[in-house]
Amino acid sequence: MLEFLKLYFILVTKIIPMFVSNIIPVKDVLVRPEVLNVNFECDLNKCKGACCTLESEFGAPLLEDEVAKIDKILSVVKDYLPKRHVDEIEEKGFYEIKSGEFLTRSINNRACVFVYFDGDIAKCGMEKAFLDGKTKFKKPISCHLFPIRVSKFGGPVLRYEMFSECKPALEKGEKNKLALIDFCRESIIRLYGNKWYSKLKEIIGK
C-alpha cells in the first residue's frame, strides 16, 4: 500500500503536471506545445519515404471504419503494389489486430503492405490510387497526420513524435520556416474540421 501511495504521489505531483504544462486546449482537444513549436516539411529525396518502412512490430493504426473503406478499394489499390505485397495481403489480409487495435500489416516488420517503390522512394499505393482519381479514400488518418500522433488522456491529445529518420524534414522545415501545423493542415482539417484549425491558429496567434 505504501509503494502504491508513493507512485500515486509521483504521478499527481510530477508526471501529470509535466504532461499538461503548456498544453493548449482547443475545444475538446489538447495540443502539446511541441506540435506548435516544430518546423517540419518532408524531404522524400533524402528520407526515401522512411515513415512507410520504419522497423516495428506494429503497422499504421487504423480506425475501424477505415478498415471497411480500405476493403472496398482494395482491388484497385493492389494494382499499384509489388507482387510480394499483394501476395501478403491475399494470404493474410491487409490488417491485423493487436491489443484491440487495428493495424496495417507489414512485410518483415518494415514496409507497410500498401507501399510501392518509385525508384528508391517508398510511397503509398492507397494515396497513388487516390491521386489518380480511382478512389475517394486517400490513406489512413494516422498516416496522413504523421508525424503528429493522437493520444488519449481523458480525451484526444495531439503530440509530435520524433524519429531520427525525419531529420531531413526538420532541416527542410527550418529552412523554409514551415510550421508542423501548417505542413499537416490538410490532415488536421480532415480530422477536426476547418473551424477547429482556424481556432487553433487564432489561439496561437498565427
Q: Quick check: is 4 in a domain?
A: no
* Residue at 8 is within a domain: no
CA distance 145 to 158: 10
Q: How many CA atoms lie within 13 A of 67 on its CB side?
A: 14
Whether 12 maps to a domain, the answer reads no
Question: Which residues make Cβ contacts (< 8 Å) with residue 46, sequence separation at least 6?
Answer: 168
Question: Does the residue 64 lie in any domain?
Answer: yes
Say if 5 falls within a structural domain: no
User: Residue 1's pLDDT is what?
Assistant: 53
pLDDT per residue over 160-188, tens digit each? 999 999 999 999 999 999 999 999 999 99
Question: Tens digit of pLDDT for each residue in 2-60?
Answer: 454 445 434 433 444 444 457 999 999 999 999 999 999 999 999 999 999 999 888 89
| Domain count across the chain | 1
Residues 57-85, mean pLDDT to the nearest whole number: 96
Domain assignment present for 164: yes
CA distance 140 to 103: 10
Q: For the segment 98-152, what is each residue's pLDDT rounded down to a tens digit?
A: 989 999 999 999 999 999 999 999 999 999 999 999 999 999 999 999 999 999 8
- Given a contact cutoff of 8 angstroms between Cβ atoms, the answer to whether 60 and 140 are in contact is yes
DSSP codes joined into one string, the chain:
-HHHHHHHHHIIIIIHHHHHTT-EEETTEEE-HHHHH-B----HHHH-SGGGS---SS--EE-HHHHHHHHHHHHHHGGGS-HHHHHHHHHH-SEEEETTEEEE-EETTTEETTEEEETTEEEEHHHHHHHTTS-S----HHHHHTTEEEEESSSEEEEE---GGGHHHHHHHHHHT-BHHHHTHHHHHHHH-HHHHHHHHHHHT-
**Structural domain of 99:** 29-204
**Per the domain annotation, does 22 fall within a domain?**
no
20 in a structural domain: no
